[in-house]
Structure 1
Amino acid sequence: MTPKTCYTRGSKSIIRCKRFCDGQPELKFFRSDYVYLNCANSFYKVHTKAKTWWNAKEKCDLEGAKLFYPDNNIELDEVICHINKTNPNIDLIHIGISATQTKGVFLTVDGVPIRDVFSNWMAGEPNDATAEDDCVVMNKLGIYQDSKCNTWLPYICKKTMQSFREWNAECKSPFLGYKFNKEMNKCYKFHTQPKSWRDAEKICEAEQAYLAIPNSKQEADHLSKITNDNPKNYDGYYLSGAVHLGYRFDETIEDWVTLKGETLEQAGYSVWNYYQPDGGEKEYCGGMFYNGEFNDISCETQDCYFICERDIDEIGGKTGKN
């Protein structure tokens, strides 16, 4: 097979990539939205939606991965090749190196000093030109520059095969906290760190799930059981007695709708607790009391435990890993 040139610098070809390094070989599976690159023995996801460095790092962490930085020149070449084949319009990305802990001391997201890992600085970099350039970006030639951490850029999340130890076969997920329910044919995870409704929605989405939506009295009872059976040992402030669920108020139709776009009635369950919804404190998002009945909750200011739900039949990929 003839290798394909990904791009050139001047007249000199600097990256040549082989097709076998850009697929998902049998049983090399982490998540359906990640690609396995054989030459680096790791999984990657190119996020084209720009974020700040901090938000990019958080997103990768939530997905069970880490903000990418290259371990060596071989990995650098393969990842750049992948970017240029799949997202050729990306010119600059955040990478997992920063000096946010100590000014001028650059560490990887794994806490390793940059002097001890592969690096490819542009001449004269890092120069802290703005006195706020504490994060590192990489251009499509693989060259590093320091930059402001609040710059909005695309980024890549990486999961190494070495760090991928366990697999939730029933729920087709690397997240072991999901439990399969045969009657619903779904998986559920009770999160024991209270969050706002908005943050809970983001966490579920990062796990290829969504805030739970009861479609029947039976499912509502199951969510209530999950809630009551799980420990609640969080010491900080949170709204006790309720959990976040996947519905909110839609002002355009003046009705409550699920994250799948259905009204509660269309979804199959709409049992509110007494005097709910009451609209207190701009409560435009959905929750459930521990008895399985609905209540309205603030989208931003009320932290609660929450349940993520995963439709395993809609998730692509294999049920095992190498």
Structure 2
Amino acid sequence: MLATSLIFTFVYLFSGQLCLAETRYGYEYIPDVDGWLRLYTVPSTWANARLRCQLEGGTLASPQSNPLAAAMMKMMGENGQNLNIVYTGINANIAKDDYMTIDGLPLSNISLKWAAGEPNNCENSEECLVMNGAGELADVNCSRVFGYFCFKKSAKMSKTKCDTWDSDYQLDPRTGSCYKFHTAQHNWHRAALTCRAEQAHLAVINSDTEARVLKKLFAKYPREKNIQNGDWRTIFGETFAEAGFETWSVNEPNNYLGNEFCGTMHRNGRLNDFSCDIKTVFICEITPLGKEILDGHQHRVIKVRRGKRVTRVR
């Protein structure tokens, strides 16, 4: 049976107890940065920490300003679990030894101090940075496990009528529940984590009425349409929609041979997924800071800040 002819529901055989993390609370507002922090004390690998924060609509926090660094150190000191090291979002996973935050801020733009003897790139395998309670950084292997912070901008903390930050959830009066269809395909465990991060859970069918509601929702997404292959992001951590362009070539992305995890552009100007290990030509881009670009089609001015484009209507 094709994967796109079925959907996961919250049905799972297990022994023992199922422990689900509470995601509705735990964020603390930091006025000096107009954002919210949540400290996760359960150790995780860097990749899983980044994933959790991303699914919650935030980013793996980095001490990229003095107020944010101070807030992170304060919460570490007050957590009561003797947590003295956390992952930061600063990493060199894209290019070896070229450290930047998840949203693309280079290490050279961050005021920081290293712990004694750091960085040392032990065995040439340390590409993620951690921070201790004194605000000192060290490089570590990304597969090691540490606590971490998720950071969310204030705009992403507003709640909808469905009691979540995610506006894609829609209330159905026939059941009194809110639903969201995910077009990115995942296994059961990743699907469950995604729902929990959105303050929800995998759908539980409690009645014939609810079965009909889900059947109708499912029918809106035909097997050959609207089913995504993964969660694609730019090097700045943006979705393609946030970046401003998400037009794929026909029948792409298709993850051919199961190893196409990097993005390319065809000569038709449309996107294509591609193996990260195959050599091909590429284009580099520089947009000078403070440069204003007139977008004639949209009649807007795009202001560039720290390598990103911030749009304002003219």
How high is the TM-score relative to the length of structure 2? 0.61
In structure 1, list runs of 5 or more residues that go unmatched.
1-29, 239-322
- Asked if 2 retains the 8 angstrom alpha-carbon contact of 1:167 and 1:176, the reply is no
CA distance change for structure 1 residues 165 and 231 in 2, over 3 Å: closer, same or farther? farther
CA distance change for structure 1 residues 185 and 33 in 2, over 3 Å: closer, same or farther? farther
Q: 1:225 and 2:188 equivalent?
A: no
Q: Kindly report which structure 2 residues correspond to 1:121-136, keeping only aligned pairs within 5 A, or say none.
A: 121-136=114-129
* In structure 1, distance between residues paired with 2:158 and 2:28: 17
- The structure whose RCO (Cα within 8 Å, separation 6+) is larger is 1
* In structure 2, distance between residues paired with 1:56 and 1:166: 19
* In structure 2, distance between residues paired with 1:176 and 1:82: 29
- Asked if 2 retains the 8 angstrom alpha-carbon contact of 1:93 and 1:139, the reply is yes
Offset, 1:203: 0.8
2:58 to 58, 65, 70: 65
Show CA shifts across 1:91-140 (max 9, x none).
Answer: 11110001111111111111221001232222442221221011000111
Query: Alignment RMSD, CA only?
Result: 2.2
Runs of 4+ in 1 over 4 A off after TM superposition: 165-168, 234-238
1:50 to 43, 47, 54: 43
CA distance change for structure 1 residues 117 and 166 in 2, over 3 Å: closer, same or farther? same
1:189 to 180, 184, 191: 180
Larger Rg: 1
- Asked if 2 retains the 8 angstrom alpha-carbon contact of 1:177 and 1:189, the reply is yes
Show CA shifts across 1:43-101 (max 9, x none).
Answer: 11111111101111111101100001112222212221122112441011110001111
Q: 1:158 and 2:151 equivalent?
A: yes
2:137 to 141, 144, 157: 144
Give the 3-state SS of the residue equivalent to 1:104 in structure 2: coil
* In structure 2, distance between residues paired with 1:31 and 1:41: 19
CA distance change for structure 1 residues 181 and 94 in 2, over 3 Å: closer, same or farther? same
Offset, 1:230: 3.4
* In structure 2, distance between residues paired with 1:43 and 1:166: 8
1:89 to 73, 76, 82: 82
CA distance change for structure 1 residues 226 and 235 in 2, over 3 Å: closer, same or farther? closer
Q: 1:216 and 2:207 equivalent?
A: yes
- Asked if 2 retains the 8 angstrom alpha-carbon contact of 1:192 and 1:231, the reply is no
In structure 2, list runs of 5 or more residues that go unmatched.
1-22, 231-314
Q: 1:169 and 2:199 equivalent?
A: no
Task: Indicate the percent of aligned positions where both proteins have the same amino acid.
Answer: 31
* In structure 2, distance between residues paired with 1:88 and 1:73: 24
* In structure 2, distance between residues paired with 1:237 and 1:115: 35
* In structure 1, distance between residues paired with 2:138 and 2:52: 22
2:91 to 94, 98, 107: 98
Structure with the higher strand share, 1 or 2: 1
- 2:148 maps to amino acid: Y
* In structure 2, distance between residues paired with 1:54 and 1:138: 16
Range that drifts further, 70-79 or 87-96: 70-79
* In structure 1, distance between residues paired with 2:166 and 2:229: 26
Pairs aligned (count)? 207
* In structure 2, distance between residues paired with 1:46 and 1:113: 24
